[in-house]
Amino acid sequence: MNSDSSPVMPNNGTNLIEVLTAQAAPKPFTYALPANMDAPRGQLVEVPLGSKKSFGVVLGPSSETIPAHKIKTIHALVDAPTLSPVMLDFILWVADYCMAPAGNILAMLLGGQSAQKNPKKERSAKKEAEHAPVQKPVLSAEQLSAANSLIATLGNFSVTLLDGVTGSGKTEVFCEAICAAMAQGKQCLLLLPEISLTTQIFSRLESRFGFAPILWHSGLTPAQRRNAWKAIAHGKAPMVIGARSALFLPFKNLGLIVVDEEHDGSYKQEEGVIYHARDMAVMRGKLENLPVILSSATPSLETMVNMQSKRYGHVTLPQRHGIAKPPHIHLIDLRQEKLTAKNWISPTLQQAMREAIARGEQALLFINRRGYAPLTLCRACGYRFQCPSCSSWLVEHRQDGKHRLNCHHCDYACAYPRACPSCKAEDKLAACGPGIERLAEEAKKLFPDARHAILASDTQNNLSEVQRIVDAMGKGEIDILIGTQIVAKGYHFPKLTVVGVIDADLGLQGGDLRAAERTFQLLYQVAGRSGRADDNGHVYLQTTQPQHAVMQNLKNHNRDGLMNVLVAEREKFSMPPFARLATLTLSGTNHATVTQAAHMLAQLIPEQAGFRVLGPAPAPMALLRGRHRQRFLIQSPKSAKMQAFMRTWLSKANLSKNIRLHIDIDPQSFG
Ligand SMILES: [Zn+2]
Ligand SMILES: [Zn+2]
């Protein structure tokens, strides 16, 4: 059966160990330990798994009774530091909270390294860190005082909201806390929502600290990944900057976690292990007894409520650093100022752009929609192009000379057709609404002499392309930048003075629980790109709902006013953070089977006071990547044990293998 299991171990439990393997198994496995080997709890090991190898971590002696011939022997000890008891607790806690297999959390800790290649045999290409002169920024009195408040939190668990308007210098302030923690011999982790942001902040931090921080994100090569991982695990990396998965790295001596732009939706991982990196960072801070700093100009409603109830500390930076002032916000009422057909840039916005460009300044046009047009229809019969695998319209794309229709939810794509597939009419297909490419076309027509660039999340995979455009914009080599939400994420463009938001109402559609909060955060962040070096930033919001609380509070720079309205609403309707939510989504390729399974599950809902289960109902994306989806929404009081309720419920279910379950505790989006 298994050649590795000889010699046969006596099954008396003394040299049997329990190993959590780094994959989705329902429980740890028992392995035999060779007589000459010692493997304490937390030791990383390489074990046989089926016909393959896997990494695992030793949990302790196993008391399982297994026939001797079925026991496999571990291959080798991994040459890495033992995981601390706290780290093991963290893995198990996250697994329990997110209702995910603990082995999947371990896989994140291992950073996607595969046991197929023994890391012991890898030659380390690690270079000595190069030291550059440290460049200390000059801090204002407010910044100094904020930095000192953060430094005072070092040493123990606490969560502090670092709250300051865009451009107030939050980065410089939390850098002081990072420096202080490193001076105490501790490692620091800075989480960023977007991997493209790491490169811009990297050089700033490098000159501040005098050495290059370690970067951790999905774009690393396997060799870079292994070297970074080792340095972190051995405590040789004092400072790590990373996207959300960096939170699971096995720091030897972690002393501070900073979550920058803590409100950002990218911190929620929606695939695989479904977790919120900000919330898990707070839990890691608690388990490891270290401070967590949440930084944002537009904190999430959850963080605001925690701050108001004094669970979180609050450090504010009231003013923009230097002479810069907040931008002027103008609402353009599209019911008054009508747009001409197939045009989306209003005359008022055009005028502002024209003046800015004439002064040698820059303009940014923002629309949160990739592609040329979000919908294509036939003017002869009304046919609309829909993805065959998703409940979604196909999006027209024209970039790179390839005229095509794409689904934004799966990889379906086809050439742009000449004729309508329904009525066969030719040349009757019409693009409906603008995407970023169509907006760029309009901008080019209006400003033919200006230098244009597009920054969309299409190009997101191509880091160097994003970097090139961001650099060019920073240097003033672009006059008009047309961007999707990627431009909202913390870039620093000193010569940008006019921002036009083409469809400010876009995010308010759909009635999502967080629609108003998210729209405010997004538009505020977009607006914050302007006028960062001077006080002449102007932001134009094109809206058909100028009286909406989001627009009015944006105009009046009244973030807290809007937050108070939203907090009161959430409390009134028993919504998070005043209650708990979870979603349970069933999916499968056969519509009838999924519906049947959902109705079977509905019969098994446990009776428990305080719990309310809504559904099953088709998910808003009722068909996604060829899978039909039915959903339950579970609501409970804040103090209730949501996971226990879910486990009781699901333990009674006997689902067919064709049905996939997707549990989302504290869901952020409901698509
Ligand atoms: Zn037609
Ligand atoms: Zn699709």
Q: How confident is the model at residue 543 (pLDDT cuts 50, 70, 90)?
A: very high
Residue 245 has pLDDT above 70, yes or no: yes
Per-residue model confidence (pLDDT) at position 128: 44
Between 127-141, 238-252, 478-492, 542-556, the lowest mean confidence (pLDDT) is in: 127-141
Which residues lie closer than 8 Å to 462 by C-beta, 6 or more apart?
A: none
pLDDT of residue 8: 43
Q: Using pLDDT thresholds of 50, 70 and 90, give the confidence band for residue 470.
A: confident
Closest CA to 394 of 421, 423, 358, 365: 421
**In the prediction, which pLDDT does 322 show?**
54
The per-residue pLDDT for 264 is 92
Question: Is the pLDDT assigned to residue 460 strictly greater than 70?
Answer: no
Q: What are the distances in angstroms from CA 6 to CA 34, 36, 66, 115?
A: 10, 14, 15, 21
- From the CA of 405, how far away is ligand 2's center (Å)? 11
User: Which residues lie near ion ligand 2 (Cβ < 5 Å)?
Assistant: 387, 389-390, 407, 409-410, 412
Six-digit token string for 357: 């460009």
Give residue 606 CA to ligand 2 midpoint distance, Å: 35
Domains, the chain, in order of start with CATH, read 3-118 (3.40.1440.60), 141-317 (3.40.50.300), 328-369+434-567 (3.40.50.300), 373-433 (no CATH), 579-665 (3.30.70.600)
Is residue 93 scored above 60 in pLDDT?
Answer: yes
Q: Which of 105-114, 413-422, 473-482, 573-582 has the lowest mean pLDDT?
A: 105-114
- The ligand placed nearest to the CA atom of residue 409 is 2
Q: d(Cα 269, Cα 245) in Å, to the nearest integer?
A: 9
Least confident of 199-208, 381-390, 420-429, 518-527: 199-208
- 245/361 Cα distance (integer angstroms): 38
Give the distance (Å) from ligand 1 centre to CA of residue 385: 10
Point out the ligand nearest to the CA of residue 422. 1
For ligand 1, the distance from its centroid to the CA atom of residue 439, given in whole angstroms, is 26
CA distance 60 to 134: 46
Supply the DSSP string of 253-280, one letter for each residue.
Answer: SEEEEEEETTT-GGGEE-SSS-EEHHHH
pLDDT of res. 486: 82
Angle, alpha carbons 212-216-221 (nearest 5°): 100
- At 392-402, the pLDDT tens digits run 999 999 987 88
DSSP 430-460: EEES--HHHHHHHHHHH-TTS-EEEE-GGGG
Side-chain-side CA neighbours of residue 657 (13 Å): 0
Q: How far is CA 253 from CA 136, 238, 283, 503, in A?
A: 25, 9, 16, 47
pLDDT band (50, 70, 90) for residue 351: very high
State yes or no: pLDDT of 567 exceeds 60.
yes
Distance 376 CA to ligand 1 centre (A): 11
More confident residue, 197 or 380: 380
Write down the pLDDT at residue 273.
Answer: 93
Sign of the C-alpha dihedral computed for residues 429, 346, 487 and 266 taken in this order: negative
The ligand with the least distance to the CA atom of 385 is 1
- What would the two tokens of residue 510 be? 């759909």
Q: Measured in angstroms, how far is the CA atom of residue 378 from the centroid of ligand 1?
A: 5
Burial 569-606 (b: 16+ CB within 10 A, else e): ebeeeebbbebbbbbbbbbbeeeebbbbbbebbeeebe
Tokens matching residue 507:
């995010």
Average pLDDT over residues 496-520: 90
Tokens 């409940």 sit on residue: 391
Q: Is the pLDDT of residue 180 over 50?
A: yes
Distance 342 CA to ligand 1 centre (A): 21
C-alpha dihedral sign at 469, 471, 474, 477: negative
- What's the predicted TM-score (pTM) here? 0.90
pLDDT for 348 beyond 50:
yes
Ligand 1 midpoint to CA 421 (Å): 7
Count of CA atoms in the C-beta half-sphere (13 A) of 409: 19
Mean pLDDT over each residue of the chain, to the nearest integer: 90
Q: What pLDDT shows up at residue 528?
A: 81
Tell me 190's DSSP state: E
Q: Residue 486 Cα, ligand 1 centroid: separation in angstroms?
A: 36
Q: Which of 297-306, 355-364, 531-540, 588-597 has the lowest mean pLDDT?
A: 531-540
**Residues 314 and 307 sit within 8 Å (Cβ to Cβ):** yes
The alpha carbon of 434 and the centre of ligand 1 are apart by a number of angstroms equal to 21
Q: What is the pLDDT of residue 127?
A: 45
Residue 190: its pLDDT value, please?
97
